[in-house]
A and B are shown apart, each in its own frame.
Chain A
Amino acid sequence: MRQINYSKAITEALREEMRRDEKMIIMGEDMGVMGSVFGLTVGFMKEFGENRVIDTPISENGFTSVAIGAAMRGLRPVVEIMYVDFAMAGYDAIANQAAKVSYMSGGTLSVPMVIRTPAGAGRRSAGQHSQSLEAIFTHIPGLKVVAPATPYDVKGLLKSAIRDNDPVVFIEHKSLYFYDAKCDVPEEEYLIELGKADIKRAGNDVTIIAWSQEVIHALDAAAQLAEEGISAEVVDIRSLVPLDFDTIRNSIIKTRRAVIVHEAVKRGGYGGEIAAQISDELFDYLDAPVKRVAGSNVVIPFSPALEDKIIPQTGNIVATVRELLHGGKNAVFTNAV
């Protein structure tokens, strides 16, 4: 099968949906003439015109609100917020406006829009261009939140997000834009339903739950652990809201152990939410406490000597799983990462 990378998959999804639905528009900083700072929409303005591929001023709250108004009138805007960090400058539009229109209008209005936004560290971009802020969006009823890890998933999920009638915050890991590995992506059209987890690797001893780039680290960790005779199952939730808990439940009933991995800082991260749900519903099945491997509670440092130390790497996942399996219930767990 044909293989493409993560950013090419995003570009294909956007182009196919733009061709399919003339009500779809793309808005954001540098989306038109430049084709986005990450080069995802190069050639779009020429193909679809300035009316549908709109270069906005640097006004995150303003242009996200403009997209909301356009969506209420029947358009299907896909807004890019260049870095998820900048979404904090547009948070009123996202949290108080887009998220609340459907409920506060008693279901008479809807906001079919996607907010695409690159997140994540690892590119030496320091504290205002590197965060993983997905938990902030999951906290707001009315938003759907998606964070795919692979080229196949990002394409199928972005197409579904665009066709969804609710505001979807679509988080792309910017390091994956530059990730060399390609994967099979069919040339014919396909969609992936929001809220369906995917078992990226089957196993019996422990369930590693991850999303976005941490899925890649989790898979690397699972491969290493296999060499030690530990069989890890990797569940990529792909979509945080709605959450496919059935897949998580079935996996944990089988493995009796869970490690949740996310790049976002541990405190208040979405891993805590998943851990609480596991504790509530699966307590009797667990042989060990649910562990989280997550970012340190710190501002992302610029220095390459520091950045890699505070976001979860493959080694941190391997170490946590080892402790979980070999340490048993009474093991003393280190708090590294």
Chain B
Amino acid sequence: MVIRKYDRETLIKFYREMKRVREFEEKACELFAQGMIEYNIHTCIGQEATAVGGCQALEKSDLIICTHRGHGQCLAKGGDPGIMMAELFGRETGYCRGRGGSMHIASIDVGILGANGIVGAGIPIAVGSALATNILKTTEITLAFFGDGASNTGEFHEALNMASAWNLPVVFFCENNKYAVSVDIERVIKVKDIAERAKAYGIPGVVVDGCDVLAVYETTKKAVERAREGQGPTLIEAKTYRYHGHFEGEPQVYRTEEEMSEWKKRDAIKRLYKEIIEAGFASAEDLADIDREVKEEMEEAALFAKNSPWPTENEALMYVYSNDNERSVAR
């Protein structure tokens, strides 16, 4: 069994991190339904293994670029759930002082170079970060998360081309959740796997089961090591599935109940739970304790957000420019 390669501490960490992502998202859905979060959110429930497996393969100093479905990625990279939730609420205490919102969490300290509301646009920005690593002669890897839909944008192709031509320390991590909003990816792509596109850029392309956190972790780890050793980029395609709509309340007319229940049978959290218990690393009670702790953590995060101050109106025009802001926004 693959799981035997891991120690208890690591497995528990993976389990806890995936539970944190799911619990954060479920809390966010609940708050959205209550009207506490004003703008719609894109949740990654069902995709916990890609965010966690991907980020666990990184060092703290490494950097990521997130997607519009990026709460899990931010949390897995080390984002604080309270500060994240405050951003979703639009509060001054959020990562972007409420100016960015759900789709735009950024924190250089956590290694989040930003999330993007323009599908595909973050991929070449990640390449720029990797270029900086080379020029500054430092060691950070940059990992770009993006979806299946983004792999059809020009940015994806321009970014892979430059990163491979210049042999940059970047990992391209495609979360293929099968749908670009409503469009089944198979209807708009000729190749069987998105990973095949790596061939066009002379870099490795790897397909991994995105519902298996250990497989995602190992695949990403290999790509990260490769990048750190100066061997250039890798394209990873993790096959995964989102359980909710593209946004909350979206009618999901493009998929069937059968398809959804098939994917839910492969749920990454349930799978790791079962494997941990069967291999004797922890008991059901141990894992229930974690579940409870995580639930409390997200309750506290929500409370922090609810109790946080709104940005004040007289600061609405701040931060447009880094210097000479007042004069530059005046006219």
Contact = CB atoms under 8 A, between A and B. Distances in A.
Contacts of B321: 102, 142, 144, 166
Interface residues of B, number: 53
Contacts of B116: 97
A59 B158 contact: yes
Contact of B121 (A65, A194, A242): A65
Interface string B128-149: 1111111110000010000000
A109 B106 CA distance: 8
Interface stretch (B90-98, B180-188, B215-223, B294-302): B90-98
Contacts, number: 170
A325 interface: no
Contacts of A63: 124, 158, 162
Interface stretch (B17-25, B249-257, B277-285, B323-331): B323-331
B191 to A, nearest CB: 21
Interface in B94-140: 94-100, 104, 106-108, 113-114, 116-118, 121, 123-136
A72 B129 contact: yes
A330 B116 CA distance: 54
A105 B99 contact: yes
B323 A56 contact: no
A96 B114 CA distance: 13
Given A73-B129, A166-B321, A104 B135 contact: no
B106 A107 contact: no
Contacts of A71: 128
A250 interface: no
A18 to B, nearest CB: 13
B39 interface: no
B125 A105 contact: no
B98 to A, nearest CB: 7
Given A62-B154, A66-B124, A72 B100 contact: no
B322 A102 contact: yes
A42 interface: no
B96 A105 contact: yes
B106 A105 contact: yes
Nearest to B92: A106
A70 B331 contact: no
B165 interface: yes
Contact of A106 (B99, B158, B327): B99
Nearest to B126: A69
8 contacts: A65-B123, A92-B118, A105-B100, A106-B94, A106-B95, A107-B319, A142-B321, A144-B321
Nearest to B100: A104
B125 A66 contact: yes
A101 B328 CA distance: 16
Nearest to B163: A66
Interface string A58-88: 0101110111111111110000000000000
Contacts of B106: 101, 104-105, 108-109
A198 interface: no
Given A59-B162, A63-B162, A103-B99, A75 B319 contact: no
B101 to A, nearest CB: 8
B122 to A, nearest CB: 8
A71 B142 CA distance: 14
Nearest to A111: B322
B318 A70 contact: no
